[in-house]
Amino acid sequence: MINLAVIDDWLNSKKESLTKKGFVFQRPREEHGSSVSLDFDTEKAVGTIVYWPPNNFEIQVNSISDGEVVVLKEFEGNTIEMLDSEFDSLITNYSIF
C-alpha cells in the first residue's frame, strides 16, 4: 500500500540520480488524511506527483516559462514500482526534462 513513508523511501532511493538531472524535490506530505503529494522543480518545469487511495496516481508538470501544463498523466496503480516506471518514462520521453 502506498503511504507517506513509501513515497519518502522512493524519493530517497531516487534522489541522487534525479538531483544530477536537475530535479529539486520538496518533502512528501499527506493531504486530506490519506493522499500523498510530492512537489518538484527543474530548470524548465515545476511538477507534482499525487497518490489518492486506493489506487490512483497523477503526475502534472507545468512549464516555468508560461505556466502551461505540459504533462498530465493519470494512471491506476497501488505499488511504488508503478510510480517508478511511469515517472522514469516521463523523464525519458519529454524534452521538458
Distance of CA 32 to the CA centre of its chain: 18
Domain presence at residue 97 = no
Domain presence at residue 50 = yes
Q: Look up the pTM and report it.
A: 0.93
Report the number of distinct structural domains present in the chain: 1
pLDDT of amino acid 21: 93
- The whole domain housing 83 covers 4-92
What is the DSSP code string of the chain?
A: ---HHHHHHHHHHHHHHHHHTT-EEPPPEEETTTEEEEEEE-SSEEEEEEEETTTEEEEEEEETTT--EEEEEEEE--SHHHHHHHHHHHHHH-TT-
Q: What is the mean pLDDT of the chain?
A: 94
Domain presence at residue 54 = yes
**Is the per-residue pLDDT at 95 higher than 90?**
no
Environment class of 69 (CB within 10 Å of its CB; exposed 0-12, middle 13-18, buried 19+): exposed
Q: Predicted confidence band at 33 (pLDDT cuts at 50, 70, 90)?
A: confident
Distance of CA 71 to the CA centre of its chain: 11
Per-residue pLDDT, averaged over 35-52, amounts to 96
pLDDT of amino acid 97: 81
